[in-house]
Amino acid sequence: GAMRHLPYFCRGEVVKGFGRGSKELGIPTANFSEQVVESFPSDISTGIYYGWACVGNGDVHKMVLSIGWNPFYKNIKKSVETHIIHTFKEDFYGEILSIVITGYIRPEKNFDSLDALISAIQEDIEEAKRQLDLPEHLELKEDNFFHLPEGKTVNNH
Ligand code: ADP
Ligand code: MG
């Protein structure tokens, strides 16, 4: 369920999330719309993944991504949220986010405290940074998917 679909390429608009305060924790997550989430393979595992991300025609950055259960839909639908490992000057709601998911870190977990949650995410980020420097993941940073203009994506993506 987790690795079988990787690498997974996806592009879509950044929408408002559930205001769970990710930004206040210092870990903003750019949410994809329900339609984009619906286009994911239905059997892809929930959990924490990593890969590459690019906003509009901007630079390609490392990212960690969570595929989780969407509280708005009583946890019957998934949500997909990308934390880009980069400091942006401004929010980018409404812009097109392009991602390639290249690897899987762990399943979803519940945490006893906010501190435990934050340190788990920080470990996920460090793990993502290390993994993405390996040649098999690094090569996807240069994929044409990130550099072709809208509407001109290559056939197999
Ligand atoms: P929401 O609940 O609306 O998703 P968040 O607190 O998760 O709110 O913040 C997400 C928003 O923060 C994104 O939609 C984006 O506009 C902005 N943002 C700024 N920096 C980043 C980043 N490094 N990664 C992801 N989103 C970011
Ligand atoms: Mg969010």
Residue 3, in any domain of the structure:
no
pLDDT at 157 over 50: no
Is residue 81 among the annotated active site residues? yes
Residue 28, in any domain of the structure:
yes
* Closest ligand 1 atom number to CA of residue 15: 14
Whole-number Å distance between alpha carbons of 147 and 140: 12
Residue 82, in any domain of the structure:
yes
Q: Among 14, 85, 92, 96, which is best to mutate for testing ligand 1, by the most ligand atoms less than 8 A from CB?
A: 92
> Of the ligands numbered here, which is closest to the C-alpha atom of 92?
1
Beta strand pairing call for 60-69 and 47-55? antiparallel
Residue 2, in any domain of the structure:
no
State the average pLDDT for the chain.
91
User: How many structural domains does the chain have?
Assistant: 1
- Give the pTM: 0.93
Q: Whose CA is nearest to atom 13 of ligand 1?
A: 30
The average pLDDT across 131-152 equals: 87
Name the least confident of 11-20, 36-45, 145-154: 145-154
Residue 113, in any domain of the structure:
yes
Max CA separation in the chain (angstroms): 46
Residue 155, in any domain of the structure:
no
Band the pLDDT of 59: cuts 50, 70, 90: very high
- Residue 113: which domain range? 8-143
Give pLDDT tens digits for 75-134. Answer: 888 999 999 999 999 999 999 999 999 999 999 988 898 899 999 999 999 999 999 999
Residue 151, in any domain of the structure:
no
Rama region for 153: left / alpha / beta (φ>0; ψ in -120 to 50; rest)? beta
Residue 51, in any domain of the structure:
yes
Q: Indicate if ligand 1 lies below 6 Å from the C-beta of 73.
A: no
Q: Indicate if ligand 1 lies below 6 Å from the C-beta of 16.
A: yes
CATH at residue 31: 2.40.30.30
Tokens of 59: 């630079």
CA of 8 to the centre of ligand 2 (A): 20
